[in-house]
Chain A
């Protein structure tokens, strides 16, 4: 089975530009998560979806960030306008639903974003 697929793997752009990160979760997984990872702050949850519905977006840093999940097989994270402090590795993860124990999360390989 294919894992979580993220694109692009690397993105370098100038501040002020719109950035769109893409994610295809594992088929059949009901949960999708967007994380940001930096040396200073570690892995931070930005937002997560259950059955395509956003459940918790309290980690989204500002209104410049938005995320959508139009269907079960695709999600986007947009930053507009981008700023140098947004530079980080952005991960998408998905997990199956089951009750009674925490769910394993399956991560993509990330998008390394550099805002100049």
Chain B
């Protein structure tokens, strides 16, 4: 079973601070997705990264896929209370079924005003 480990598990910061969360695996993934989940709702896709070393930006969020496609990071600049939520990474395994994603357990982020 391939595992995606996310760290830290919990993160509580003040508004305006920067932060980075990580998603690591010993397996190679053909692509990796990041989702954000708010209480009482389902996860919502933020971004998909496909190429090793790829960097994608979504406003104050910067996503990077590791060169070996085994890990990824999410960096948030000047965090705001609206960024609060559970951040999940999910990997698609090369050669596996086209439908299946492996999810990490997530990083629960709390941004205090």
B interface SS class:
loop
Please choose the segment from A11-19, A60-68, A71-79, A99-107 that sits at the chain B interface, where 4 or more of its residues have CB less than 8 A away: A99-107
Question: Are B33 and A102 in contact (CB-based, < 8 A)?
Answer: yes
Answer whether residue B88 sits at the interface, using C-beta atoms and an 8 A cutoff: yes
Q: What CA separation (Å) do A101 and B31 show in the bound complex?
A: 7
Question: Are A31 and B99 in contact (CB-based, < 8 A)?
Answer: yes
Question: Are A102 and B43 in contact (CB-based, < 8 A)?
Answer: no
A interface SS class:
strand
Taking CB atoms, residues of chain B closer than 8 Å to A56 are 97, 99-100
Question: Are B50 and A93 in contact (CB-based, < 8 A)?
Answer: no
Answer whether residue B11 sits at the interface, using C-beta atoms and an 8 A cutoff: no
Given contacts A101-B31, A102-B31, contact A33 B50 (CB under 8 A): no
Nearest Cβ on chain A to B47's Cβ, whole angstroms: 10
Chain A residues with a Cβ closer than 8 Å to the other chain, count = 28
**Residues A79-112 near B (CB distance < 8 A):** 91, 93, 95, 97, 99, 101-110
A contact residues vs B (CB 8 Å cutoff): 4, 31, 33, 35, 41-45, 48, 50, 55-56, 91, 93, 95, 97, 99, 101-110
